[in-house]
Amino acid sequence: MTIETISCTPFDDQKPGTSGLRKSVRQFQTAHYLQSYVQAMFDTLNQIKADNNPQASLEMPADTDNAHSDRTLILGGDGRYFNREAIQIILGMAAANGIDQVLVGKDGILSTPAASHLIRKHQALAGIILSASHNPGGPEGDFGIKLNISNGGPAPEAVTNAIFSRSKAITAYQRVSGPLVPLHQIGSHTLGRLQILVIDPVSDYAALMAELFDFNKISALIRTPGFSLRFDAMHAVTGPYAKQILERELGAAPGSVMRAEPLTDFGGGHPDPNQAHAKDLMALLYAPEKVDFGAASDGDGDRNMILGHRFFVTPSDSLAIMAANAPLIPAYRRGISGVARSMPTSQAADKVAEKLGINHYETPTGWKFFGNLLDDDRITLCGEESFGSSSNHVREKDGLWAVLFWLNLLAERRASVADIVRSHWTEYGRHYYSRHDYEAIPLASAEAVMAQLRAQFAPLKEAGELVGKPLKTVDDFSYTDPVDGTVSPQQGIRIIFSDGSRIVFRLSGTGTQGATLRVYLEKYEADVERHDLDVQEALAELIQLADQVGRISQLTGLTRATVIT
């Protein structure tokens, strides 16, 4: 085996965002661009081992020079354009960077939660997931690369920061050249000393789901005459997983899984499971002919949207309802230790945790902040308003898991989605919730909104009032990880009113064009008589206030958000 060393000029823009490095395909195709970042990842993995940095919690084998050491990597992606080319490049570089074994999904496919599971199952050193999540694909779309560590979760900031600084110093990378690895069939190959196993991407994940949920009960529900469901895979990674689990194992009618074939450009769509981007599914669930249950997942299979007949479940409510009903599910029969939500997610889950007397945490946006809480068993369930929820079974959010949780719940309660949500509101009150996104605006305008908010509330306000509305507090959210003490400051401006209503402002960390301002609005309503208002109407006062305080229309020129979920 000859290791080639290829010289390159360092890049200065490889800073990972909320979820890995995400850029346009064109940018990733720039000479040496992907290679430079991958080399920075391998160097960081080795450096962490050398430093034995406990904070990064990477468990490296003791002696990596020993031929018997097992440095296993899990590799796969959401099937988007450039996925297979990138996999071949990474395999060549893994062979040159001391990796012993790579498990790669057939056709280069692995959903994010399936990859997380495989890392844990094989006690792998790390995983590399190729995805730009819900961003559009194709040659003009986006590409992305994420590193997951040995607990199966996204690399924490200590690691992503280290990769970024290393990337700025990469002047050469190592690779081994060989024939292309045939990814289209399950099998074993070698590249130099590297063992490559092309594996079935679905079977391990499907087996895990069967352990967590009552498949017999779900199957009985699905086969009940008159019951129907639709799952929209959005031509992204969950197609093969949903076909196997929902149709073949649980007996949903063939065709229940829509847009099941993964396509490199997601059929030209935007693989984001929300009301705006899953229009066909929405139309089916809101049609007069009854479909009892609808769901969708995103590009890499970690997000979920849950629908009932003519009913949309907010992700924040979904998390709260899961927490309240967890003991009905086999995996959580003995109860849950706690629940965490990202800061902008509604406080609905907190209400449940308070009633149950279990832990609850508020973390910054992004899944990486849940890892320590899960590893330390402080929480069992966690979720984000951005259509993400999961549990301690993996260290990523998990779209199909959420779908199966809801199906198991419907099977246990034998009630409709709408009835389950309404009865939850009756018990805990309703958190009216909406997110208003101002997408792809000039970075300068987005930063101007945030800067003037920070200036307006410096020193940050305790109590007082805002345009006549009594305030509880205004702050720039700072999180101290209770497990390792890491502080993550400036995570978004929170305006919290005395009645529990909130307006949160933050900038997206996943966009690839300009900037995206996110405004999160939440209003609590205990009165059952007032649980049927139109969401935007219920939030109208807060929406108007957000524009006024954030000076959004003035600074961005937009009088309305570009996407409202």
Judged by the rule CB under 5 A, the positions of this chain that interact with Zn ion are 133, 298, 300, 302
Q: Does 438 bind ligand G1P (CB under 6 A)?
A: no
Using CB distances below 5 to 8 A depending on partner kind, what does residue 556 bind out of ligand G1P, Zn ion, none?
Answer: none
Q: Cα separation of 86 and 154, whole Å?
A: 19
In angstroms, what is the minimal distance from the CB of 387 to Zn ion?
9
What lies within 8 Å, CB to CB, of 226 at 6+ separation is none
At residue 316, what is the residue type? Answer: S
What lies within 8 Å, CB to CB, of 138 at 6+ separation is 25, 80, 81, 264, 265, 266, 268
In angstroms, what is the minimal distance from the CB of 556 to Zn ion?
26
Q: CA torsion 205→208→210→211, rounded to 10°?
A: 180
Q: Does 565 bind ligand G1P (CB under 6 A)?
A: no
What lies within 8 Å, CB to CB, of 65 at 6+ separation is none
Using CB distances below 5 to 8 A depending on partner kind, what does residue 482 bind out of ligand G1P, Zn ion, none?
Answer: none
Query: Is the Cβ of residue 466 or residue 558 nearer to ligand G1P in the bound state?
Result: 558
Among 19, 160, 316, 318, which residue interacts with ligand G1P (rule: CB under 6 A)? 19
Closest CA to 245 of 234, 262, 235, 233: 233
In angstroms, what is the minimal distance from the CB of 512 to Zn ion?
14
Query: Is the Cβ of residue 133 or residue 264 nearer to ligand G1P in the bound state?
Result: 133
CA angle 168, 180, 19 (to 5 degrees): 40
Known catalytic membership, residue 133: yes
Using CB distances below 5 to 8 A depending on partner kind, what does residue 512 bind out of Zn ion, ligand G1P, none?
Answer: none
48 phi and psi angles, rounded to 5 deg:
-60, -35
CB burial readout 87-112, b (16+ within 10 A) else e: bbbbbbbbbbbbbbbbbbbbbbbbbb
Query: Is the Cβ of residue 386 or residue 392 nearer to ligand G1P in the bound state?
Result: 386
In angstroms, what is the minimal distance from the CB of 368 to ligand G1P?
9
Using CB distances below 5 to 8 A depending on partner kind, what does residue 428 bind out of Zn ion, ligand G1P, none?
Answer: none
Query: Is the Cβ of residue 100 or residue 272 nearer to ligand G1P in the bound state?
Result: 272
Is 213 in contact with 330 (CB distance < 8 Å)?
A: yes
Q: Does 434 bind ligand G1P (CB under 6 A)?
A: no
Q: Does 244 bind ligand G1P (CB under 6 A)?
A: no
Among 72, 160, 346, 386, which residue interacts with ligand G1P (rule: CB under 6 A)? 386
What x/- string results for residues 492 through 531 when contact with ligand G1P is judged by CB under 6 A? ----------------xxx-------x-------------
Using CB distances below 5 to 8 A depending on partner kind, what does residue 267 bind out of ligand G1P, Zn ion, none?
Answer: none
Using CB distances below 5 to 8 A depending on partner kind, what does residue 247 bind out of ligand G1P, Zn ion, none?
Answer: none
Q: Which of residues 128-147 bind ligand G1P (CB under 6 A)?
A: 133
What 3 state SS string does 526-562 have? Answer: CCHHHCCCCHHHHCHHHHHHHHHHHCHHHHHCCCCCC
Among 43, 142, 272, 384, which residue interacts with ligand G1P (rule: CB under 6 A)? 384
Q: Which of residues 330-349 bind ligand G1P (CB under 6 A)?
A: 342
Q: Omega of the bond prior to 459 within 30 degrees of 0, cis?
A: yes
Q: Is 350 helix (H, G, I), strand (E, B) or coil?
A: helix
In angstroms, what is the minimal distance from the CB of 521 to ligand G1P?
15
Using CB distances below 5 to 8 A depending on partner kind, what does residue 300 bind out of ligand G1P, Zn ion, none?
Answer: Zn ion
Q: Does 363 bind ligand G1P (CB under 6 A)?
A: no
- From the list 111, 131, 133, 150, the catalytic residue is 133
Residue whose beta carbon is closest to Zn ion: 133
In angstroms, what is the minimal distance from the CB of 17 to ligand G1P?
7
Q: Cα separation of 456 and 226, whole Å?
A: 57
Query: Is the Cβ of residue 300 or residue 437 nearer to Zn ion in the bound state?
Result: 300
What lies within 8 Å, CB to CB, of 421 at 6+ separation is 308, 311, 313, 317, 321
In angstroms, what is the minimal distance from the CB of 481 to ligand G1P?
16
Q: Where are the alpha helices (DSSP H) in 331-379?
A: 348-356, 371-375
Compute how many residues bind ligand G1P; rule: CB under 6 A: 14
What lies within 8 Å, CB to CB, of 148 at 6+ separation is 74, 115, 116, 119, 126, 127, 128, 129, 154, 155, 395, 396
Residue whose pair of structure tokens reads 């990469």 in the numeric block: 170
Q: Cα separation of 282 and 285, whole Å?
A: 5
Using CB distances below 5 to 8 A depending on partner kind, what does residue 19 bind out of ligand G1P, Zn ion, none?
Answer: ligand G1P
Q: Does 150 bind ligand G1P (CB under 6 A)?
A: no
Among 256, 365, 389, 392, which residue interacts with ligand G1P (rule: CB under 6 A)? 365
In angstroms, what is the minimal distance from the CB of 165 to ligand G1P?
21
In angstroms, what is the minimal distance from the CB of 520 to ligand G1P?
9
Query: Is the Cβ of residue 293 or residue 401 nearer to ligand G1P in the bound state?
Result: 401
At residue 418, what is the residue type? Answer: A
Among 11, 18, 452, 500, which residue interacts with ligand G1P (rule: CB under 6 A)? 18
Tokens, residue 320: 């709260």
What lies within 8 Å, CB to CB, of 522 at 6+ separation is 346, 347, 431, 432, 433, 500, 501, 502, 503, 504, 539, 542
Q: Where are the alpha helices (DSSP H) in 326-416?
A: 348-356, 371-375, 399-413
Q: Does 366 bind ligand G1P (CB under 6 A)?
A: yes
Q: Cα separation of 100 and 458, whole Å?
A: 53
- In the chain, the largest separation of any two C-alpha atoms, in whole Å, equals 73
Q: Give contact residues for ligand G1P (rule: CB under 6 A).
A: 18-19, 133, 342, 365-367, 384, 386, 388, 508-510, 518
User: Which residues carry out catalysis?
Assistant: 133
